[in-house]
Amino acid sequence: MSTELQNAEEAEPAVELPQLSRQLRPSAKGPVRIVHLGLGAFHRSHQAWYTHQASDAADWGIAAFTGRRPDAALALAEQDGLFTVVERADGGDSFTVVSSIVEAVDGADVQRLADLVAAPTTGVVTLTITEAAYRLGSDGHLGRTASDVVADLALLASGSGNPTTPVGRLVLALAARRAAGAGPLAVVCCDNLSNNGTVAHNAVVGMAGAWDAGLAGWIDANISFVSTSVDRITPRTTDADLAAVQAACGYRDNSPVVAEPFSNWILSGEFPGGRPRWEDAGAVFVADIEPYENRKLWLLNGAHSLLAYAGLLRGHTTVAQALADPLCLQAVEKFWDEAEANLSGPEGNAAELQIPAYRAALLARFSNARIAHHLAQIAMDGSTKLRMRAVPVLQAERAAGRSGTAAALMIAAWMDYSAAADAFQDPLADQVAAANRLSGTERVRALLGLVDRALAGDATVVELIEDLCGTFGEPAASP
């Protein structure tokens, strides 16, 4: 059931969204068949939006659990799970009320999560828990030394108390499903990681196995980990966005989400517990996802990270502003050239990926000045993001006998930013701060080691990155 509210005249004035919900949802809410971890703006503009548009949406209600923002559940629950997607194009906004979320829950309610995951009606678990939340070690498996992972493993072993990491919570919920004999389901990772299904598998089975080998075996036999490439630029919602929805639609929505009109979802894997007809909203199912993942992670996300670090060092605030700076734009174009040289399509042919058109579209998407996409938001968790966005391109360039200067520049910009930033959010923030207390080559080697140990052992790469530091501005003096 979709309601397009194109302009103020069509909407009734001053209606509260819960009241509106009775018109939008005259029948009972759909049953929960999807459990989501990581209720944030991106989940609502992407997976919830695709599910809402599926022709069988009425059968596939979503119960969404918050991660870092428990208040998001309260705000959404107060309006019956309904929220507005504002599609913000260069030429104006359009508004859709999305009704696929039927339950919004504080992530700390692990009992509710376990009950829902254990229900035989649940067929899909989707994840947007951030790249850093998988606690990936440099070997691609769960790093078991992070303090919250250690604490969750102790909790699971003792059988008392609730895990706090999303992976720990999911492991406990899957144990409940096993105990209930509810059978197989699909875990669909929607975070920006290469081979994200495998990453999710390794994290979940890694934590389960450290607790109970039988559970790890059951997960391997019963849970399908689907890989996806997800795409929709979704900046943080602002008070001005709330006011814009009220002015245009005539109702008060405390949880709207703003996104670009473009969206893309490519998936690969099995759905043993069924799934909504996401293809009705344009989702694509493929056998080999890697070429599409690399295209998106390197070209879109890689350019984003480069613009974030370079742009912030040069005093810019948003993606559109950074892109308008010739020095930043030139760095992006050069990085794209390097990335493109290492991309190939599913049949082994780069032309299949239509990269020139993809690049042109990205330039248009990034320059949408009506989307205030803050560089500071993209800059977070760089030590993890660079592993997906810069490292593979740099490695591929080195393997081809080239320098990989543009990819190295992204890493150098991150290093400069890490020393200059007032607020630096990263899972390895303490180690980054310690590395920044070193100087010269030692500092560069230590920082690079946090991103990729092998590259840090390559003296040529360390020297290249050291030379590139300072390109976008000098970092502040070490504390």
Which residues of the chain form contacts with ligand CS2 (CB under 6 A)? 192, 231-233, 300-301, 304, 377-378, 385
Helix (H, G, I), strand (E, B) or coil at 410: helix
If 0-12 CB within 10 Å is exposed, 13-18 middle and 19+ buried, where does residue 4 land?
exposed
Nearer to ligand CS2 (CB atom), residue 190 or residue 432:
190
Name the residue nearer to ligand CS2 (CB basis): 231 or 253: 231
User: Could you identify the residue written with the tokens 């979320």?
Assistant: 101
Using CB positions, name the residue nearest to ligand CS2. Answer: 304
- DSSP letter at 298? I
**C-alpha to C-alpha distance for 308 and 302, rounded to whole angstroms:** 10
Rounded distance between C-alpha atoms, residue 365 and residue 88, angstroms: 11
The residue (of 246 and 305) whose beta carbon lies closer to ligand CS2 is 305
Q: Which is nearer to ligand CS2, 15 or 376 (CB)?
A: 376
d(CA 254, CA 295): 35
Pairing of strands 92-98, 83-89: antiparallel
To ligand CS2, the closest distance from the beta carbon of 222 in angstroms equals: 30
CB of residue 192 to ligand CS2, shortest distance in Å: 5
Q: Smallest distance from the beta carbon of 80 to ligand CS2, in angstroms?
A: 28
Q: Taking the complex as a whole, how short is the minimal distance between the CB of residue 126 and ligand CS2, in angstroms?
A: 15
In sequence order, the β-bridge partners of residue 35 are: 63, 125
Identify which of residues 231 and 293 has a Cβ nearer to ligand CS2 in the complex. Answer: 231
Which is closer to ligand CS2, CB of 87 or CB of 103?
Answer: 87
Compute CA distances 356 → 31, 136, 461, whole Å: 43, 33, 29
Asked if residues 459 and 434 have their Cβ atoms less than 8 Å apart, the reply is no
DSSP 123: -
Report d(CA 107, CA 371) in Å as an integer: 29
3-state secondary structure labels for all residues of 304-360: HHHHHHHHHHCCCCEHHHHHCCHHHHHHHHHHHHHHHHCCCCCCCCHHHHCHHHHHH
Query: Measured from the CB atom, is 175 or 193 closer to ligand CS2?
Result: 193
CB of 317 to ligand CS2, least distance (A): 15
347 vs 357: CA distance, rounded Å? 19
As measured in angstroms, the least distance from the Cβ of 191 to ligand CS2 is 9
Q: Which is nearer to ligand CS2, 99 or 130 (CB)?
A: 130
C-alpha 456: how far from chain center: 27
Taking the complex as a whole, how short is the minimal distance between the CB of residue 378 and ligand CS2, in angstroms? 4
Residue 308's Cα: distance from chain center in Å? 16
**Residue 301 CB, nearest distance to ligand CS2 (Å)?**
4
Q: Is the sign of the CA dihedral 456, 461, 463, 468 positive or negative?
A: negative
**What minimum distance in Å lies between the beta carbon of 400 and ligand CS2?**
26
Which has the closest alpha carbon to 125: 81, 73, 173, 162? Answer: 173
Residue closer to ligand CS2 by CB (options 156, 233) is 233
Min dist. Cβ of residue 426 to ligand CS2 (A):
12
Judged by DSSP in three states, 479 sits in: coil
Which is nearer to ligand CS2, 25 or 232 (by Cβ)? 232
Cβ distance 435 to 441 under 8 Å?
no
